[in-house]
Amino acid sequence: MDKFFVITNGLKDVGLVTTEKIRQYLEQHNRRCQIQIAEEKKEGPYHYTDPDQIPDDTECIIVLGGDGTLLQAARDVVHKEIPLFGINLGTLGFLAEVDRQNIYPALDKLMEDKYFIDERMMLTGRAYHEGRLIGEDIALNDIVISREGRLRVLNFINYVNGEYLNVYNADGVIVSTPTGSTGYSLSAGGPIVSPSASMIIMTPLAPHTLNSRSVVFSPDDTLCVEVGEGRKVSEEEAIVSFDGDTMLRMVTKDQLIIEQAKVKTRIVKLSNLSFVEVLRKKMRNH
């Protein structure tokens, strides 16, 4: 690899100290390196990273921060089909596999082409009100629909490929990818799935019935979650988030259609930490 682009989280790399070290190291080895600071945008087609600033011939996007920063970057730049390489400045992550102490050896491997590309499936979600599209986005980890406002449970009516499945009487529903199975879905009791798998996982959030369980679907299935009517309130309110971001508001009878996205996130891996190793270390810490 010769042409790099760095997306950095300025809150985690205070003063961009580590970012500049990466730039200097790459340029000393006659590699191209450009930098963009990930900042939340209130308006516009992207969320944190402006993909138009990334040259089309970029071979690797280095994401400096952590899993959250990488998730944000993935949603903004996935259509450019440039592989992402995560460097973790926080706690041990599943996506950002390299820490501060191993940055230079990792950069050497990238420059020597000693890596492999791991493709991760994504989800696309489209929200409809009275049959009209009111919003859509993609997610690498999960799409979550949950109650909004005062504390109360909602009825979420679920369909698969147009066929009625069940009703979750719960605080919300988490629909995740294998990559997202170790995130919010896991904390809600969902299964841990290898990120190399292709499937869609639906998990109720704080269900109020004992028989509510996660359900795993084929990546080719189309899921529909409809906001049901409340017990006392004629119109309930719900909110949809994509990877913990991009909120869409929904009301009773609105529908959220979720299916596998046509694009995939490409993650650069150096094989120094397998998914099993990271999982074992995470479990040991808890």
Residues with catalytic roles = 67
Contact criterion met (CB below 8 Å) for 120 and 138? no
What residues have CB less than 8 Å from 146, skipping those under 6 apart?
171, 172, 173, 205, 238, 239, 241
The residue type found at 263 is: V
CA distance 215 to 199: 10
For residue 87, what are the β-bridge partners?
A: 64, 98
Instruction: Give the dihedral sign, CA 144/149/150/156.
Output: negative
Contact criterion met (CB below 8 Å) for 198 and 179? no
Outline where DSSP puts E strands in 100-242. 116-129, 132-139, 142-147, 154-160, 163-170, 172-176, 200-205, 215-217, 223-227, 237-242
Name the helix (H) or strand (E) containing 104. helix 103-111
CA distance 68 to 141: 10
Residue 231 token pair: 């017990």
User: Residue 237: how many CB atoms within 10 A of its CB?
Assistant: 17
Measured in degrees and rounded to the nearest 5, phi and psi for residue 186 equal -65, -40
CA distance 241 to 263: 19
Contact criterion met (CB below 8 Å) for 205 and 146? yes
CA distance 142 to 244: 8
